[in-house]
Structure 1
């Protein structure tokens, strides 16, 4: 999923999280205590010796001390090039350290120009900061690569299922097609390219439902993943629920560009004033509808009400009561995130905001009145706003977030917060009591539960909804 930063702050106010996103959260949790204290001490002494050496070398009567410092610096550089941990240091390192300490003490007692030493210190510090920043960027890039790359085991699963689909087409289960468009049933829609993720959503929903025969799941995917997902669900039974897999690229829709786009994830940063009138940067994570969501009224012309589930959720309670919910003429029943208000995003939403204090809302679990959606022509409204904001902002990501929030800004019915808890894909600090009472757990953020980088204390809830006895899991080295 796409994660971008939208900020109304200047460059000087950028925090680590704004610059590098979820990597900073992951790094804080995995920061290791420096164990190799002797190596660190050697580096510190080398730093000091390098700062004094140029000034000492300019004093004619200190040729001997200058040579001594130079020799110690070279010795330390050689040792540190070969040793990165204390256990790798040579046996005579204590004597080398003692000689360096003595040379530094002599250098400090010499009458040198303080500003020259300070200048050298600053040069070395700048070089060190540049190097640290380079490694920070490199680590953030590798972290981003890790969370966006399909794990080898999941790629194996998808490839094997695709091969099985074409190898044994006669094994495919005959679908219960009349249920697909029956408006009297409970229809769930999932956009997904991930076999395991969509399976967890359906399995967890069905396993907590008191009655499953009225449940119909529509998994919307793309051409690349259709065959694997179709094969997976055709060979599985989810109690009495019905599962339909649709290739969105093959649907005959008015919009010719009906390629699949998953729910969008945004990292939104803005300035706030705290209780002490201090300007601080706040970063929040939002997940919203994508372009594909605005095709729903056309994809399901016979349905009046649906529940849309992101593929990074786990259902932990019966959702049946959502179908009896009266959303008061609104279009979208959603859990709101009042940590972000539309007025705080005014820099790119402009004057189109009807209520500055209106809260942002989250995808993940959404009750949608498709009839009302059609009546209000919200898909057309979205496309118009998207074009306007694209021209004004020049950023596709900003335009998509703005168009989505503005399209639904007066059409949100607020669901109680106990229906869904978001943040399990980026927030290490969620209260476990909140996690346990939530009906739906939403793993929005980079650290998805099917990745090695997933947050360990939340991953178990996701793993429980898979049957780990599947032979194909063993074949592809997929384990709990």
Structure 2
């Protein structure tokens, strides 16, 4: 065999080997894409879907005034808290300070979660919550014990947690923020108003009213208007309610009006007189807020509180375009990602420290 034929044979073998490698890589890529597609659950909106992942802005310079954000961290919902905080932090260049209210026995676990994410670069304070402050203010009925979570009342005591702040944003832990929190913080509150909420009858949230839920968007859905104490207030039963899962607070005005004391007074009266509506037995946080802030609150942009995500036939009716345009999404509903009704905290049991679905 001549040298020329040997060289040609070698080139042919190299070409064949190259084609085999390319073919295998294409097969691996195809398998990868197929796996990615099968992992996506069609038709169900989850905060861990790619559309909801916040762009990483690690190392971004934080400028301007501090923006206090108050959020609670229950032991069983730490994944949700981390996801919510990540979405706030990575969608803003503002000087955000997280004020995380939690129980003493959860603090160490929370610090571990924070250390495993980009939030270790963020400013945050861990504030212990003492449940004893609620003594005499919530029912001790053992049948209601599972529905009464002490941390849900933390929002009532914000001036105690951040005494030097003049203004703050409160967020429930089951939210994903897609806009710059500075915009929400800059909400204009009218003179004499201590807080701004999103009304349940606004153009965005009205799309999410759960069918068959009755008057959950009116005061009568939360308060018993047959009780004398409620009648004496002169409130109209069909007044549009608001959702306190997201709000902006003027803490200077809050302290001036002694809002916390007013809320505690109505909590104590409910224990004695059972003033809340039976149609929403598990809603013990909203009623006192509705009373205290009746026609005395400002409004936030409805797109900063798009709720009922996960509600059967409600949040799932939102179009993809509407969801992407929303500044804040609230998963205060239920959905069936694994063939059963699951709460938001159930979902985050499946998540890693970064709040991403695993």
TM range (shorter): 0.5 to 0.7
Relative to the length of structure 2, the TM-score reads 0.60
Distance apart, 1:237 and its partner CA: 2.9
Structure 1 residues 389 and 229: alpha-carbon distance in aligned structure 2, compared to 1, 3 A threshold: same
Tell me if the contact between 1:304 and 1:371 (Cα under 8 Å) persists in the aligned partners. Answer: yes
CA distance in 1, matches of 2:136, 2:117: 28
Tell me if the contact between 2:155 and 2:170 (Cα under 8 Å) persists in the aligned partners. Answer: no
Tell me if the contact between 2:243 and 2:286 (Cα under 8 Å) persists in the aligned partners. Answer: no
CA distance in 1, matches of 2:274, 2:226: 10
Matches within 5 A, 1:64-463: 184-193=65-74, 194-209=77-92, 211-212=93-94, 214-238=95-119, 241-249=122-130, 255=133, 290-329=152-191, 330-338=193-201, 340-342=217-219, 345=223, 346-347=225-226, 349-393=230-274, 400-429=285-314, 430-432=317-319, 433-447=321-335, 453-454=341-342
Tell me if the contact between 1:448 and 1:454 (Cα under 8 Å) persists in the aligned partners. Answer: yes
Distance apart, 1:450 and its partner CA: 11
SS of structure 2 residue aligned to 1:327: coil
CA distance in 2, matches of 1:404, 1:357: 16
Structure 1 residues 341 and 222: alpha-carbon distance in aligned structure 2, compared to 1, 3 A threshold: same
Q: Name the structure, 1 or 2, with higher relative contact order (CA <8 Å, separation 6+).
A: 2
Structure 1 residues 332 and 185: alpha-carbon distance in aligned structure 2, compared to 1, 3 A threshold: same
Map of 2:59 onto structure 1: none
Distance apart, 1:464 and its partner CA: 11
Name the count of aligned residue pairs: 255
| Structure 2, unaligned runs of 5 or more | 1-42, 44-61, 138-150, 202-215
CA distance in 1, matches of 2:338, 2:158: 27
Distance apart, 1:398 and its partner CA: 6.8
RMSD: 4.0
Distance apart, 1:455 and its partner CA: 8.8
Distance apart, 1:298 and its partner CA: 1.3
SS of structure 2 residue aligned to 1:365: strand
| Structure 1, unaligned runs of 5 or more | 1-28, 30-178, 260-288, 469-478
CA distance in 1, matches of 2:106, 2:340: 22
Tell me if the contact between 1:337 and 1:359 (Cα under 8 Å) persists in the aligned partners. Answer: yes
